[in-house]
């Protein structure tokens, strides 16, 4: 048993965590202003933006993967632009995985943040404006500290969801060891070549890690006051 564990290749897990960490960081920075905007606006564009950001929840990953693959490849203007301007290929490498994951996990970051912001007492935000503070300072010093559970939920769920993705990654990244072969893809391959021992160990690790991440979120949010979760 110990020998099997010692010989086990953990690169897919490292790759999964690296991908999830990077995706979470990028999405957090991008989604904060978006979620804030959605929580404060009465614009007619709001439902449209909300519907677009929620699309990845309902679309089959293969559909999303197919379009991302098409958009990033040399067949589309985006792919051509990156290839000719920077000499970067956007498919079948780690960069393409990050782009695809950001799209795929977008709703899992936006929605908890948005409902967190929406749960805030509007008068509290206005009290900050009356105190002479601008929007940026209000978000940083009043809004964010008062939605800690929503922040934690957004970050953890986005991270966990990215670790757990499979279809999109497979379509956009393929299965290049050390580059795009993340844990979920590795498990799929192990089953395919009927290496059930490795598949069992990989899967067990995934279940345990996921369970304890979720457990920590729920324990934290139970202690804090409940303020926001996926709608």
132 binds other proteins (CB under 8 A): yes
CB closer to other proteins, 23 vs 146: 146
87 binds other proteins (CB under 8 A): no
| CB 144, min distance to other proteins, A | 9
CA Rg value for the chain: 20
Give the count of alpha carbons within 13 A of 217, CB side only. 22
CB closer to other proteins, 125 vs 186: 125
Give the count of alpha carbons within 13 A of 87, CB side only. 0
CB closer to other proteins, 81 vs 129: 129
DSSP H or E stretch at residue 220: helix 196-223
Token couple for 111: 């929605």
Q: Count other C-beta atoms under 10 Å from residue 196's C-beta.
A: 11
| CB 49, min distance to other proteins, A | 24
CB closer to other proteins, 85 vs 121: 121
Q: Give the integer Cα–Cα distance in Å for 183 and 203.
A: 9
CB closer to other proteins, 6 vs 121: 121
Q: In the stretch 92-131, what mask flags binding to other proteins with x, by CB under 8 A? A: -----------------------------x-xx-xxxxxx
Q: Count other C-beta atoms under 10 Å from residue 131's C-beta.
A: 10
| CB 136, min distance to other proteins, A | 12
97 touches 169 (CB < 8 A): yes
The tokens 């985006």 sit on which residue? 78
145 binds other proteins (CB under 8 A): yes
Q: Choose among 144, 145, 163, 156: nearest CA to 219.
A: 156
CB closer to other proteins, 22 vs 139: 139
142 binds other proteins (CB under 8 A): yes
| CB 138, min distance to other proteins, A | 10
Among 73, 96, 146, 221, binds other proteins (CB under 8 A): 146
149 touches 220 (CB < 8 A): yes
| CB 130, min distance to other proteins, A | 5
| CB 225, min distance to other proteins, A | 9
**Interhelix angle 183-192/196-223, nearest 10 degrees:** 150
Q: Give the integer Cα–Cα distance in Å for 2 and 9.
A: 13
CB closer to other proteins, 146 vs 158: 146
Instruction: List residues near other proteins by CB under 8 A.
Output: 121, 123-124, 126-134, 141-142, 145-146
């Amino acid at each position: 048993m110990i020998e099997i564990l010692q010989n086990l290749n953990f690169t897919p897990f490292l790759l999964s965590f690296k991908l999830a960490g990077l995706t979470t960081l990028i999405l957090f920075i991008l989604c904060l202003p978006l979620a804030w905007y959605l929580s404060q606006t009465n614009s007619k564009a709001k439902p449209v933006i909300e519907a677009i950001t929620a699309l990845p929840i309902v679309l089959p990953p293969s559909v999303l993967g197919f379009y991302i693959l098409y958009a990033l490849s040399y067949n589309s203007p985006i792919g051509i632009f990156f290839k000719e301007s920077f000499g970067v290929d956007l498919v079948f490498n780690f960069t393409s995985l990050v782009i695809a994951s950001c799209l795929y996990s977008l709703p899992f970051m936006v929605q908890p943040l948005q409902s967190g912001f929406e749960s805030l007492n509007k008068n509290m935000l206005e009290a900050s404006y009356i105190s002479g503070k601008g929007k940026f300072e209000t978000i940083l010093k009043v809004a964010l500290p008062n939605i800690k559970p929503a922040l934690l939920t957004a970050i953890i769920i986005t991270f966990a969801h990215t670790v757990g993705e499979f279809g999109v990654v497979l379509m956009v990244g393929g299965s290049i060891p050390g580059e795009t072969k993340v844990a979920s893809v590795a498990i799929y391959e192990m089953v395919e070549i009927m290496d059930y021992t490795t598949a069992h160990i990989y899967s067990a690790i995934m279940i345990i890690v996921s369970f304890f991440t979720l457990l920590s979120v729920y324990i934290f949010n139970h202690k804090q006051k409940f303020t926001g979760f996926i709608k």
